[in-house]
Every structure is written in C-alpha cells, then in structure tokens.
Amino acid sequence: MYEQIAANKRKTAGLVALFVILLFAVGFIFNYLLKGGVVGLVIVAIIVIASSFFSYFNSDKVALRIAHAQPADPTEYARYHNLVEGLCIASGLPKPRLYIVDDPAPNAFSTGRNPKHAAVAVTTGLLEKMNRVELEGVLAHELSHIRNYDVLIMTLAVTMVGIIALLSDYFLRIMFWTGGRAGRDDNNGNNPLGIVFAVVGFILLIFAPIIATLMQFAVSRRREYQADASGVLLTRYPPGLISALEKLKADHTATHFASKATAHLWIEEPLDKETNKGDTKWNHLFDTHPPIDDRIHALEQM
C-alpha cells in the first residue's frame, strides 16, 4: 500500500508537470502569434504560476461549489459521520470535511490536496438508497482516493483543464474576429519557419483542451480501479461495494449538479446515464469512468 501511495505521488507530480507544460505551450504559442515579445512571455509566466497556485489551494472549493455541496450537519446525518469516523480510525486518516449535495441521484465524490485538507461529499439520494454496508463501501472508496493521494491530481484537473480550454478558446476567438491577421506582419508572411510555427500553434490551440481532457479522463479511469480495491481492503467486505456498484448501475438518474469539469470526481459517471454507447473501445474514449461491470468483475476476483 505504501508503495502504491508513493507511486501515485510520483505519477501525480508527473501529471501536474504535464499540465503545466501544456499550459506554458498554449501561452507561448498565444504570445508568439500575437507578437507579445518579452513582455508577453512574462505575462504568460505570471498567468501559469498564478493559475497553478490557485488550482493547488482552491480547486477543492471550486469543485464543492460547482456541486452545490453544503456541510453535513452531524446530528441530521449521524450515520454518515459515524461511518466515516469508523473508517478513518481503521485507516489512520484524519476525518475529512463532510458535505451533502441535495440531489436524488445516488453518487459521491472526494476532493482536496492531501489527507489533512480533504472533503467528501455524498448526495441525499445515495444516503436514501444505500443500506449501511453499501454506504460504508462507497465511503471507503472515497477515503481510498484521499489516502492514495488521487484527489490532488483529480481535483487539480478541474481547474487546469478549464484554464487551458479558456486560453485556447480566447485565442481562437481573437483570430476569428481579426480574420487571422493577429500577430502577423509582412516579414513573417515570407518566413516559411514562421508559417510552420503558426500552423503548429493553431493545431496546439485547437487540440490542447482535447489532450488535457483525455489526460483527465485517463487519470480518473485508472484510479477508480485502485480506489475500489483499496476500499474493499479497508472494509474487508467486497460484497458491500459490489452491491453498491450494482445499485448505481441500475439507477439511471443523472446527477443534476454535476458538470463535465467535475464528472471524473464522482464515484460513477454522473452525466448521460441513459445513453447506450455500445461496447466498442472508441465509444468509451471520452468516458470519465471504466464500465461498472468491469469494476464489479475485478472486485469479484478479490
């Protein structure tokens, strides 16, 4: 388990670096095509550094706000608090902040930058539809995301993907309204290298949000399997989480306060649940989660 956590920390550092590099690349191309010069590069550096710090310290607050999560009252939601406290004692984790999302769809997510600054949110639908054992399995899954340091990269992705998408969209709008003349002059018009660089820049700006989103989804899919396995090891009762996943699969209610930016945080796909995509690899390329049947099968082998 400790080796897995250490490996996750290394992977998280690598993925954060990739996000920052992609953000720098978008900013550099933006600056080059708009002829910002040295001043533009300084502005790009400031934006990247500021956005990275903002993402690190505030992405959990952003995710909770997007989900319309409210603090869970210890008296009204005593079972919720008691289960989390018991699991935290068993795992050695500090108790995270607990939140409620007023939504009939059963779902849950965790967020934060580390175990000391983490939060778990569940929907009212989850509390109503899961029995104690099933709810414990779901909460163990979310606490495993926290213990495995999955929440950092998964939460950072919310703001970093958004920043990359906004920068790319902003630049493409500028190019549209200026008729593609932004950043061009007579010298560059006759410079083949400048033309090639501009074409590469356009391609990067168009595909950067897609690349960032695919990175986001890849991170989520891989770590869902790990959190399932770690959650079962924590409760030592695989049927609990298996039963919870079966209920989640059978329920076709979309989570109202979920969005594409935060979809990867939830325990299962919160959007477009009634869409029949088929079983081909390409149909699931942009899924935020692995198929529930595959997750159940993996747990049944434990």
Q: Just list the catalytic residues.
A: 142
DSSP, res 266? B
DSSP, res 112? E
What is the DSSP code string of 267-300?
SS--S-TT----S-TGGGTT-SS--HHHHHHHHH
Question: Is the separation of the CB atoms in 235 and 89 below 8 Å?
Answer: no
Residue located via tokens 């200026």: 178
Cβ-count burial 20-49 (b if 16+ within 10 Å, e if not)? bebbebbbbbbbbbbebeeebeeebeebbe
Q: State the helix-helix crossing angle for 238-250 and 192-235, rounded to 10 degrees.
A: 120
